[in-house]
Amino acid sequence: STELLCPSTVRLDRENICAIGRLQTLQEIQSLYLQQNQIEKIENLSCFPNLRFLSLAGNRIRRVENLRPLQHLRFLDLSHNQIQALDPAELPHSLRLLNLTGNKCTHQHGYRELVLGALPHLLQLDTQPVCGSMEEEEEEEEEEEEGGSSSSEDKDEESPSEPSHPFTAGKDFFADLEQDLARHSQQRRREAVEEHWNRLEELEELWERRDLLLPPAPL
């Protein structure tokens, strides 16, 4: 997907990252991929004030926290972490799609009702569409088209730039996303294997030339 190569996207998945470090403010970053790492805490994301897409799936996160400052966040994937209990108040109200599958918090009493009550604009929860939300979204889009006089600033607020599909997603969004991530994972594995064999060839070449590299033995 060419969208995944856009400059407004940062991919740090499968890099054995243990913590989200403090970075300089990166206003332009809108999509951040941190899945399949060793991250234990959600922190220091205020460096990305315009973040709209965040993937933290497959880490070691135990608690949902420090996300409220991300006022433009539309997509959040926290699936397959170690979240025991969820406080919906910690989630940004701007969310449209949320995935918490694979966490024990999804089994707590009244989980779905609590989340939907805290996130009025949510379109999809744990890969399942929110009843009535798609119709409401379509009605809002029709009203915007009929209005036609809204300012460009308002349009920018409601129209995500990159990636475009996460925030206008239909029922097949998560399947498409998983395919994108799988392709990226396969590509990284191929690159790692290729690099491994290249290094082996370099070592073999050095071994063959060891007599030229080593100093002459004393007589």
Sequence spans of domains, the chain: 1-130, 172-213
Q: What backbone torsions phi and psi does residue 193 show, to the nearest 5 degrees?
A: -65, -45
Whole-angstrom distance, CA of residue 170 vs CA of residue 124: 9
The arithmetic mean of pLDDT across residues 14-25, rounded, is 84
Q: Residues near 104 by Cβ (< 8 Å), separated by ≥ 6?
A: 82, 83, 84, 85
Residue 36 has pLDDT above 90, yes or no: yes
Instruction: Check residues 201 and 20 and name the one with the higher pLDDT.
Output: 20
Joined tokens for residue 185: 């994972």
| pLDDT recorded at residue 22 | 77
Kindly give the pairing relationship between strand 124-125 and strand 75-77: unpaired
Residue pLDDT, tens place only, 143-185: 555 555 444 444 444 333 344 344 444 445 556 666 666 676 6
Mean pLDDT within 99-123? 94
Phi, psi of 10 (to 5 degrees): -120, 125
Q: What is the pLDDT of residues 90-102, one digit of tens each?
A: 999 999 999 999 9
**Residue of 194 and 36 predicted with greater confidence:** 36
Cβ(63)–Cβ(83) under 8 Å? Answer: yes
Average pLDDT over residues 188-208: 66
Token pair for 95? 């969310």
Question: Which range among 22-31, 73-82, 88-97, 205-214 shows the weakest confidence by mean pLDDT?
Answer: 205-214
Length of the chain counted residue by residue:
219
User: What CATH superfamily classification does 1-130 receive?
Assistant: Ribonuclease Inhibitor (3.80.10.10)
Quote the pLDDT of residue 6.
47
pLDDT of 47 reads 85
What Å distances lie between residue 7 and 26, 27, 30, 34, 93, CA to CA?
A: 12, 12, 9, 16, 26
Does the predicted TM-score (pTM) go above 0.95? Answer: no
